[in-house]
Amino acid sequence: MDLATIIGMAGAVIIIGAAIFTGGDPGIFLNIPSVLIVIGGTIFVVFMKFSIKQFTKAVGIAMKAFMFKLESPVELIDKCFELAQIAKKGGPLALEKVTVENDFLKKGVDMLVDGYDPEVIRDILLKEKSLASDRHKEGIRIFDSITDVAPALGMIGTLIGLVQMLANMSDPKSIGPAMAVALLTTLYGAFISNVISKPIADKLGMRSGEEAKNQALIIDAVLSIQNGLNPRVIKDALQNYLPKGERKSEDDEGGGGGGAKEAA
């Protein structure tokens, strides 16, 4: 679970809600025409730009911004170091007795055990990495689209409210409701864009980058293990994926990441 995303969004909602509730009657901020224009309009416009299937998938992808936590590169390096030690002692077939929790790494290890050629392993893993990136980009595009559309629908609602207000200037009772539509649609559009869709899109972009980095690390590790490189050499090479401040010294024994355990 990503506490930063949950705390950030909850905090923003609480602060905005506190401003609403401490300023008087919160009911004045609920306007059905404004809700229909902004929320309903945004959903239908996004449906026009994407398919319903893509839209529903994006909701599942968005959960990565809240629930999904990737392994750190440090953890992956330790796991790959452990796998390299096992392969060095017993050969690639020894990895058949190892349990690997990371799905992408497991796929690479399985291909090692089955004796795939290095180029085949590289091509398959790179293809899977590319497809995962494409799926993430699709979800990001949908939330970026919501970020663009919601404020635009808010502006449309504002114009509708102003037209209604100007057309009924002779009736003071109609000015208030029309002005409410004009202002609240702008508020709803800004809220959806800046508190919900844009932060989710940005967090998904960050998650996609982190996952792509981990997958590139795994590809290098798997190919290095297949080439029979010394586990220490592999680990030192993988340190390049870490910021300098996180890299372990050459004397560090490493290992013991906990992600690969020999089966009983």
* Number of domains observed in the structure of the chain: 1
**In-domain check, residue 193:** yes
Any domain includes 168: yes
Tokens representing residue 17 in the block? 């809600």
**pLDDT tens sequence across 172-220:** 777 777 787 888 999 999 999 999 999 999 999 988 899 999 999 999 9
Token reading at 93: 């077939």
DSSP secondary structure letter of residue 179: H
102 occurs within a structural domain: no
- Within a domain: residue 216? yes
Which residue range is the domain that position 141 belongs to?
31-71+124-244
Look at residue 106 and tell me if it is in a domain: no
Q: What is the mean pLDDT of residues 17-38?
A: 87
Q: 16 lies in a domain?
A: no
201-211 pLDDT tens trace? 999 998 889 99
Q: For residue 88, is pLDDT > 80?
A: yes
In contact, 166 and 142? CB cutoff 8 Å: no
Instruction: State the pLDDT at residue 250.
Output: 52
Q: How confident is the model at residue 97 (pLDDT cuts 50, 70, 90)?
A: confident
pLDDT 10s digits, 40-80: 999 999 999 998 888 888 887 777 767 777 788 999 999 99
Average pLDDT estimate for 238-245: 87
What is the CA 8 to chain-centroid distance, rounded?
15
Residue 207 contacts residue 137 (beta carbons within 8 Å): no
